Structure 1
Amino acid sequence: MSAGEGATVDSRASHPGTAEARLEQLGIELPAVIPPVGRYVRAVRSGTLLFCSGHLPDSAGTPVHKGKLGRDLTTEQGYEAARQAAVNLLGTIRASLGSLDRVTRVVKLLGMVSSTEDFIEQPLVVNGASDLLHEVLGERAVHARSAVGMAQLPRGNCVEIEAIIEVAAATEEPI
């Protein structure tokens, strides 16, 4: 059975070093968590699962990746926006858990892409988030995923990413 089919994955063997060390190697600084703009929280933990709200590429400020894919932005620009949204997502995960090394698995990723009716490259855009998560978390980031087109996203952003994360139980040592 492959990792994508639900097998248990030992990420240390395939991707040595801690997630925190990989962030440093990649030159990525995670942002401080921005308070939500409504009656919700950025993440909720239930048992060993962490449910993360949608994250935009501009969570820390002014939208940079505004517009629709297929009209205003290229697939490559959307990929970069999804990557930045994943950086913001990782910031929330770290703030929620104290360390990214508590993540045992990215279970599910949902990528929403503001796009024109005829744009069909949503999966290529959301690859930006999937690729970044794999760079940081290794095989623990192999996940189920949906990449869907949307008519509009908050503040005119082109992408929004949400995730379900499996977490080491409180009595378990972080990976």
Structure 2
Amino acid sequence: MHPETRLAALGISLPNPIAPSEHYVPFRRAGNFLYLSGHGPRRMDGSYVLGRLATSDDVAMGHGAARQVALQMLATVKLALGDLDRVESVLKVLGMVHATPDFTHHPKVINGFSEIMTAAFGDAGRHARSAVGMGSLPHGMVVEVEAVMLVRERSGAGVMST
């Protein structure tokens, strides 16, 4: 089943891709690998969801922000590849959580991201992952996630890159 069809069945649609806030590209293609820059949870006006997680009561907010990051990253993947169906698998994810030193629920927060990848791609969305705490993140955002995906070539098309 097509990834966007899977998401639509759950009542989920992709946002429009948002341009980077600094001097970098949102993705880079090398052969069959798509490297995705760190994405943060951004609102439609371009502002970030801010915060620093301190207690287990904060997990739900961070989890929701990580889901938002996943959808924004999928919008970037669609921009990069033209079609989410070209993703063969999600290989590696690094999830960073803006947290106090004693916060220990980083994996539960980044599960929000991972759940969306699995919802979109099924077993191909299951990935190797690190979920770590950070003393700060750019703009004060609550989570940031970067990823590497394996992509299949479009039949009859050459390799795209930015």
Q: TM-score, normalised by structure 2?
A: 0.89
* Contact map agreement 2:96 2:144 (CA 8 A) in 1: yes
Residues 23-172 of structure 1: pairs in structure 2 closer than 5 A: 23-58=7-42, 60=44, 61-64=46-49, 66-70=50-54, 74-171=58-155
1:79 is paired with a residue of what secondary structure? helix
1:63 is paired with a residue of what secondary structure? coil
* Contact map agreement 2:25 2:37 (CA 8 A) in 1: yes
TM-superposed CA distance for 1:133, in Å, is: 0.7
* Contact map agreement 2:118 2:126 (CA 8 A) in 1: yes
TM-superposed CA distance for 1:172, in Å, is: 7.9
TM-superposed CA distance for 1:57, in Å, is: 1.0
Counterpart CA distance in 2 for 1:117 and 1:172 is 51
TM-superposed CA distance for 1:63, in Å, is: 2.7
* Contact map agreement 2:56 2:105 (CA 8 A) in 1: no
Which ranges in structure 2 are unaligned for 5 or more consecutive residues? 158-162
Q: TM-score, normalised by structure 1?
A: 0.83
TM-superposed CA distance for 1:72, in Å, is: 10
Aligned length: 156
Counterpart CA distance in 2 for 1:156 and 1:118 is 18
Which ranges in structure 1 are unaligned for 5 or more consecutive residues? 1-16
